[in-house]
A and B are shown apart, each in its own frame.
Chain A
């Protein structure tokens, strides 16, 4: 008997045959999260952005709001100058980024490599409840860009912001290889409970929220 059969047989002995046939009736309802800050209400659309920005700040992430996608290169240049980084970045293989005029910046579209300092990606969605960026892997969105570089800049279209994780799931049509939920820069408290940023992943996590896709 294989290990698989042995394990399933033991489970079968306890739970009975109903276990393997048709899908069980799973009707336990997930509670709606109840926060002081109302993010569910659709009356106040701006609440979502406010909550996202506030939650991101709580976890040491930074944020900038822009009117147009075309303003991104200038904003990135300013940000990198401010944190004292080279004006060089690996950008996601996404048209939204490659079509931009990067002027002062040296950019390359590819997956990340060991010594890349800065990456720029396009968020699949943002989740207001937790200040989380959702990245979905694809040929246009290599996942290493989210983890290897020291500075990770994410462009989030405001229209891609959802209130909760429950509103995010339906946006996924076919399961990608990987979904990464990212909430702030990488951190550790393994040395005497002292919080240190930039454990293995990005030290700086900067989100640029863009109102119009122009």
Chain B
């Protein structure tokens, strides 16, 4: 996927002025936050599971080589093929080769974020393959020619009216002449259209939520059942997954499933959780003849080496997005690449370059809500702060920012000056304010353009402290 993160400032400004988008986000946020809260409360020792998730992921990362090769051996034993890809291009080449060897024409696809990283759809379409996304949200944005704006709800930014129009535009040639306006009818029409594709596809591509090393199982979790139809009906099933998806065994899978559904959609268990172990067996009546797993690095081994290793624990539940005051106001597209929200603000700079995505870690209030809901306890605010430190050390900021920081540094490291100057400033501000606030202030236009700036108290904290101290003694 093309990187547009460098445009974050203008894109987020535009998003804030987009009323349709804001109301779509408002609708989603409340739902996600409340259902998660309820589902988490129902499991009284949910916190123990978060600790467990963190420990198991850390353990797996520490022994990543062992678990990946164990997974590979088990897949091969059950008759599947494992391919390794250093980057998206290599992964796409592998997938193209499999599709061409299978004489494929039509390819159905389940939701996969790493395939967005690799821009797999485009690479297949450029070679003349018909590619159909089958998750309803993904299908909608594919029709719209857009990218996902949320990890688990890719079309969260689309209104019902948008979908009605899109379906009318694309489905009338298939004989669906009337506009569908109710959610039931929209879903039903998608069901009919996609059913034909499921049953006529030559290859099915899905992602994986987990790879179980001990059994060689690729696990996918969905609510619609599209992943299972994609995986079971065509003659070839290809799974694309990044290397940090591996976990030790089935028991640990049980732990992660208790975390994932609750954190993602507030479900105690998602509707479909499927373990795939290789191709169709001798006596099976259905299932694919070929089973391929593409293990994708795409920057993970670099992250493993870095101070950002903790981010590799992520299980892509999207809880940090739903609880982020920035994401819930600007939506996913402003972030300019595959992963939005707090996880995106940490991951995008690591995968596409820190300077290119430098606005992302800076657009954070460090309120810490993301960390408190993360099912694997990723210290997201600390990692975002680390990015800021790196950016300063790299000298990535503009001249004005550097000068501003230098001024602040010079002042803050000289307590005497600091006290004097703040005292004078505060006194002036307190006296010049009208009714306790400012409608305009020099250098503060971005703030005062949309709201008043509150006037400070008459004296500084230092002054008050000294005064009180004097009284006591």
Tell me the A residues contacting B by CB distance below 8 Å: 2-4, 6-8, 10-15, 18-21, 23-24, 26, 28-36, 55, 58-59, 93, 110-112, 114, 130-132, 137-139, 142-144, 146-148, 164-166, 169, 175-194, 196, 198-202
9 A-B pairs (CB sep. < 8 Å): A14-B305, A30-B255, A59-B269, A139-B281, A169-B250, A177-B287, A189-B31, A201-B225, A201-B271
Question: Are the CB atoms of B268 and A31 closer together than 8 Å?
Answer: no
- On chain B, the residues within 8 Å of A175 by CB distance are 78, 215-217, 277
Minimum CB–CB distance for A97 against chain B, Å:
14
Main secondary structure of the interface of A (DSSP, over half): loop
**Chain B residues with CB under 8 A of A93:** 285
Interface contact A139-B269, CB-CB below 8 Å: no
Do A139 and B285 touch (CB < 8 A)?
yes
Does B314 touch A at the CB level, under 8 Å?
no
Q: Which residue of A lies closest to B230 (CB)?
A: A200
> Contact: B184 with A196, CB < 8 Å?
yes
B152-160, B326-334, B372-380, B434-442 - the one binding chain A: B152-160
Contact of A142 with B285 in the complex, beta carbons under 8 Å: yes
In the bound complex, residues from chain B placing their C-beta under 8 Å from that of A185 are 271
Cα–Cα, bound, A3→B298 (Å): 11
Known: A7-B301, A188-B223. A19 touches B65 (CB 8 A): yes
Query: How many chain B residues touch the partner (CB < 8 A)?
Result: 98
**Complex CA–CA separation, A193 to B156 (angstroms):** 8
Query: With contacts A3-B85, A30-B52, A187-B271 known, what are 14 further pairs, Cβ within 8 A?
Result: A11-B64, A30-B252, A36-B44, A58-B268, A169-B250, A175-B217, A177-B276, A180-B228, A180-B273, A191-B183, A196-B183, A199-B191, A200-B194, A201-B272
B275 touches A178 (CB 8 A): yes
The residues of B that contact A55 with a CB separation of less than 8 Å are: 268
Q: Mark each residue of chain B from 46 to 66: 1 if its CB lies under 8 Å from any CB of chain A, else 0.
A: 001100100110010111111
A199 to B62, Cβ gap below 8 A? no
Stretch at the interface among B120-128, B132-140, B354-362, B391-399: B132-140
A165 to chain B, nearest CB (A): 4
B421 CB–A CB distance under 8 Å: no
Residues from chain A with Cβ under 8 Å of B155 in the complex: 190
CA separation between A59 and B140, bound complex, in Å?
25
Given the complex of chains A and B, what is the CA–CA distance between A196 and B190 in angstroms? 12
Set of chain A residues within 8 Å of B137, measured between Cβ atoms: 188, 190
* B25-39 to A contact mask, C-beta < 8 Å, 1/0: 001100100000000
CA distance A8 to B63 in the complex (A): 11
Inter-chain CB contacts under 8 Å: number: 247
B203 part of interface (Cβ distance < 8 Å): no
B279 at interface by CB-CB < 8 Å: yes
Does B22 sit within 8 A of A, measured CB to CB? Answer: no
Residue of chain A at shortest CB distance from B29: A193
Q: Which residue of A lies closest to B159 (CB)?
A: A192
Chain A residues in 8 Å Cβ range of B269: 59, 130-132, 181, 183
Give B214-253 as 1s and 0s: 1 = Cβ < 8 Å from A's Cβ atoms: 0111000001111011001100000000010000111110
Contact of A169 with B251 in the complex, beta carbons under 8 Å: yes
B163 lies within 8 A of A191 (CB) = yes
Task: Using CB atoms, name the residue of chain B closest to A12.
Answer: B65
Most chain B CB neighbours (cut-off 10 Å) among A21, A112, A138, A192: A192
Tell whether B283 is near chain A: CB-to-CB under 8 Å.
Answer: yes
Does B274 sit within 8 A of A, measured CB to CB? yes
Docked pose: A180 CA to B225 CA in angstroms: 11
Which B residues touch A138, using CB under 8 A?
Answer: 281, 283-284
Q: Is B64 within 8 A of A114, CB to CB?
A: no
* A191 engages B225 (CB within 8 Å): no
> Quick one: given A7-B243, A166-B254, A186-B271, are A19 and B223 in contact (CB under 8 Å)?
no
Query: B286 touching A143 by the CB < 8 A rule?
Result: yes
Bound CA span A198–B198, Å: 15
Residues of B within 8 A of A4 (CB): 84
Centre residue among B137, B224, B249, B287 by max chain A CB count within 10 A? B224
Chain B contacts for A6, CB-based, 8 A: 86
